[in-house]
Amino acid sequence: MTEEFLKKHCKQNKLYQSPHLNDVLYLHYKGFSFIENLEKYTGLRCLWLENNGIREIANLENQSELKCLYLHNNLISKIENLEWLTKLDTLNLSYNTIRRIENLDSLKFLNTLNLSHNYLQDTGDIEHLRLLDSLSVLDISHNRIDTDEVVNILGDMKGLRVVSLMGNPILKKIRLYRKTMILKCKNLKYLDDRPVFPRDRACAEACLQTYLICYPLDLYLLADLRPPSKALINKRKLYKPVGTSEKEAEDKKKTKEEDEEVATTTTLVCTSNELLNLERKKKSGRSSSSGSSSASSSSDEEVVENAGKEDDGTGQKAIEKSDGRRPMAEDERKALGNLGEEILLPWKTRVRNTGGWLITDAVHFVKIK
């Protein structure tokens, strides 16, 4: 990275030949091993150095106006020499060999930090994040973090809005990972690959309240994230969840209603079967008396007419003519009224003309035009 190369590069990319006038410098995919000869480029605001072979962050003392520094896909193993970049807003150090987060507390305006695909593992490797008050976007995905203290560390970062923890072993150990992170990080708006909507936060808080009501002895589990012991499992069985009595009452009521519906359907089936048997008997009687004379048929018609008259206007008289001990039952009255007539089934109806209306025995009313 010589001065001549930098001038030639600025000319090829149609940048200013005066170094201090350039605010952007694209030096990616060039194969550099060190950062050097940038003393004259004091006006830089964005510096692209990704996909090189850089092993150390150095020689950036004169870039005090720098706001974006991209050093991903390099061979950097330590975060250092950044205290001069007081206005730095975005720092990308992904795909390196960094094992510890450090030397970032002097960056008071740091908003975005990307440390994905590195070698962060223990609590001490990420403890430094507590000091970054202005940080709102953090990506530490695909590291080797296996400590549950990461939840508390991220919860202490008041300005945190976006977090990515995917690809770390700790995700398999945290119970209710997403709900726990939402409850710990009060201002979280985006977690991993999904946004955090107000509904998600409300569900997480409701889940917490329900959990504390049903299982008060497991309060520490949300903080310590440890599996429950056998003693707690046995004590948990002694606590009856809230609302079980109401559920039992509702279930009993539903079963009772279902039993009543089954009973009504069985009675309907029985009555229809009885009507079929009576119709069969009636038909068999008619076949035996098929050779009778026409006089008998006329007498039958008179009986039918008399029975119809009794059905229309003299129902109450039939009740009055009972034996006096008890009123005549409605079923017996109907039997007397329908004597000599053909037994009516649900699919066989009679039609009577009453003042311009056709009334059927199936309780259908039809207006006569």
Burial class (CB in 10 A: 0-12, 13-18, 19+), 335: exposed
Q: How confident is the model at residue 208 (pLDDT cuts 50, 70, 90)?
A: confident
Which pLDDT score, from 0 to 100, does residue 145 have? 93
Non-local CB neighbours of 109 within 8 Å, separated by 6+ positions: 86, 87, 88, 89, 134
Average pLDDT, integer, range 263-282: 62
- Please give the residue that has the higher pLDDT: either 91 or 344: 91
Is 203's pLDDT higher than 60?
yes
Which pLDDT score, from 0 to 100, does residue 46 have? 95
pTM, whole model, 2 decimals?
A: 0.57
CA distance 265 to 220: 55
Which pLDDT score, from 0 to 100, does residue 254 have? 78
- Which residues lie across from 278 on neighbouring strands? none
What sections of 225-358 are H helices per DSSP? Answer: 230-236, 244-288, 294-313, 315-320, 330-337
Which pLDDT score, from 0 to 100, does residue 367 have? 45
Which pLDDT score, from 0 to 100, does residue 363 have? 44
Average pLDDT, integer, range 120-149: 92
Which pLDDT score, from 0 to 100, does residue 102 have? 93
- Please give the residue that has the higher pLDDT: either 274 or 208: 208
- Please give the residue that has the higher pLDDT: either 202 or 331: 202
Non-local CB neighbours of 231 within 8 Å, separated by 6+ positions: none
Structure tokens at 327: 């009123």
Name the average pLDDT for the chain: 75
Which pLDDT score, from 0 to 100, does residue 233 have? 62
Is 281's pLDDT higher than 80?
no
Please report the DSSP string for 206-233 in residue order. Answer: HHHHHHHHH-GGGTTHHHH--PPPHHHH
Q: How confident is the model at residue 176 (pLDDT cuts 50, 70, 90)?
A: confident
Nearest to 64 by CA among 47, 52, 78, 79: 47
Tokens 């109401």 sit on residue: 246
Residue-wise pLDDT for 57-103, tens only, equals 999 999 999 999 999 999 999 999 999 999 999 999 999 999 999 99
Q: What is the share, in percent, of the chain residues with pLDDT greater than 90?
A: 39
Nearest to 78 by CA among 97, 91, 65: 97
Cα→Cα distances 317→34, 260, 311, 337, 352, Å? 120, 37, 10, 12, 22
Is 230's pLDDT higher than 80?
no
CA distance 98 to 83: 18
